[in-house]
């Protein structure tokens, strides 16, 4: 479907949500993930990168990463997760109007048909796997412990109101456990107080992310403060304390509540705020 800007994107018929609804797939993916995470610079320095792509959709996010790295030498390992392959099929069938899949059709076709694409493009070695699973369930299984640890997570689930199981504290607790000590950053499009409180309670460091589309800022979580440009500060913690929608969701049922005393204590004792003399 065409967006008001004239760029085409994909709409999910079941949820009614449109992927990258304002500035389009390529522009949003480049701003939110590629530039913000400085992936080109990191790849240039390290020569390899492992990504978790949570919410494959039409593959716009990983394609943006691959385009940015296409003139580099090294190895990219991508693990994509989605419960359906319909958006991927749509991207293949409508590559021309969508624009961003152009030139990557063969890779996407292998991913769709075989669930894995292993190719070399000039000096770039790509190993891309698609796990068609419910990520919110799969991450709690033993098999998740075998997933390669990511240096970056492209987190692009539908909104909490539409897809609450992807935004719960138990899910992010498990993600933090699996990532372990690996230097890893995870941006997403949301700037909600509830999301930020959830990520902090799960043990991530959390900062303000770049603007994209109509959003003045987004959110980035990381395993280390060194990976963040602008940490949430004491003034944010005070606003969170007063918010009517800050309590992390434990069950996959969307609701809005102020912080509990227990959650407030967890936030106040987070190193991110202790180091700011909270």
Query: Tens digit of pLDDT for each residue in 236-255?
Result: 999 999 999 999 999 999 99
Q: How far apart (Å, rounded) are the C-alpha atoms in residues 230 and 2?
A: 34
Question: In this model, does residue 57 exceed pLDDT 60?
Answer: yes
Q: Give kind and range of the element (H or E) at residue 131.
A: strand 124-132
Sign, CA torsion 225/227/229/232: negative
Residue 88 sits at φ, ψ, to 5 deg, of -65, -45
Q: Which of 33, 72, 52, 73 lies closest to 182, judged by CA? A: 52
Task: For the chain, report the end-to-end CA distance as a whole number of angstroms.
Answer: 48
Q: How far apart (Å, rounded) are the C-alpha atoms in residues 191 and 221?
A: 11
Look at residue 14 in the predicted model and tell me its pLDDT: 54
Mean pLDDT of 40-47: 94
Sign, CA torsion 86/160/23/152: negative
Look at residue 10 in the predicted model and tell me its pLDDT: 45
Look at residue 8 in the predicted model and tell me its pLDDT: 40
Question: In this model, does residue 205 exceed pLDDT 60?
Answer: yes
On whether the 25-166 domain is CATH 3.40.50.150, my answer is: yes
Q: What is the pLDDT of residues 128-167, one digit of tens each?
A: 999 999 999 999 999 999 999 999 999 999 999 999 999 9
CB 9 within 8 A of CB 18: yes
Mean pLDDT of the chain: 91
The two three-digit tokens of residue 223, written as one number? 């395993």
Q: Which residue has the higher pLDDT, 171 or 275?
A: 171
What is the length of the chain?
278
Mean pLDDT of 65-85: 96
Within 10 Å of residue 132's Cβ, how many Cβ atoms?
A: 14
pLDDT band at 1 (very low <50, low <70, confident <90, very high): very low
Q: Where are the domains of the chain?
A: 25-166
Q: Which of 35, 115, 40 lies closest to 78, judged by CA? A: 115
155's CB contacts (< 8 A; 6+ apart) are 54, 55, 186, 187, 188
Look at residue 274 in the predicted model and tell me its pLDDT: 86
Q: What is the pLDDT of residues 114-136, one digit of tens each?
A: 999 999 988 999 999 999 999 99
Q: How far apart (Å, rounded) are the C-alpha atoms in residues 236 and 185?
A: 20
Mean pLDDT of 177-188: 97
Question: In this model, does residue 203 exceed pLDDT 60?
Answer: yes
């Amino acid at each position: 479907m065409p967006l008001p800007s004239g760029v085409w994107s994909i709409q999910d018929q079941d949820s009614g949500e449109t992927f990258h609804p304002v500035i389009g797939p390529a522009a949003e993916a480049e701003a939110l993930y590629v530039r913000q995470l400085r992936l080109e610079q990191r790849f240039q320095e390290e020569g390899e990168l492992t990504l978790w792509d949570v919410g494959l959709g039409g593959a716009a996010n990983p394609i943006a990463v691959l385009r940015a790295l296409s003139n580099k030498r090294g190895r990219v390992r991508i693990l994509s997760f989605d419960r359906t392959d319909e958006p991927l099929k749509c991207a293949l069938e409508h590559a021309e109007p969508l624009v961003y899949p152009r030139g990557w059709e063969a890779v996407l076709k292998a991913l769709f048909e075989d669930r894995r694409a292993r190719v070399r493009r000039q000096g770039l070695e790509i190993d891309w796997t698609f796990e068609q699973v419910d990520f919110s369930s799969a991450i709690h299984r033993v098999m998740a412990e075998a997933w390669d640890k990511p240096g970056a997570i492209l987190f692009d689930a539908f909104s909490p109101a539409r897809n609450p199981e992807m935004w719960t504290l138990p899910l992010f607790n498990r993600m933090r456990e699996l990532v372990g000590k690996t230097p890893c950053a995870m941006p997403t499009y949301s700037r909600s107080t509830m999301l930020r409180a959830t990520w902090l309670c799960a043990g991530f460091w959390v900062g303000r992310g770049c603007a994209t589309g109509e959003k003045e800022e987004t959110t980035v979580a990381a395993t280390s403060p060194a990976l963040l440009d602008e940490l949430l500060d004491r003034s944010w913690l005070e606003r969170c304390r007063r918010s009517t929608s800050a309590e992390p969701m434990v069950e996959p049922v969307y609701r809005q509540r102020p912080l509990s005393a227990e959650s407030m204590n967890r936030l106040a004792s987070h190193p991110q705020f202790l180091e700011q003399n909270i």
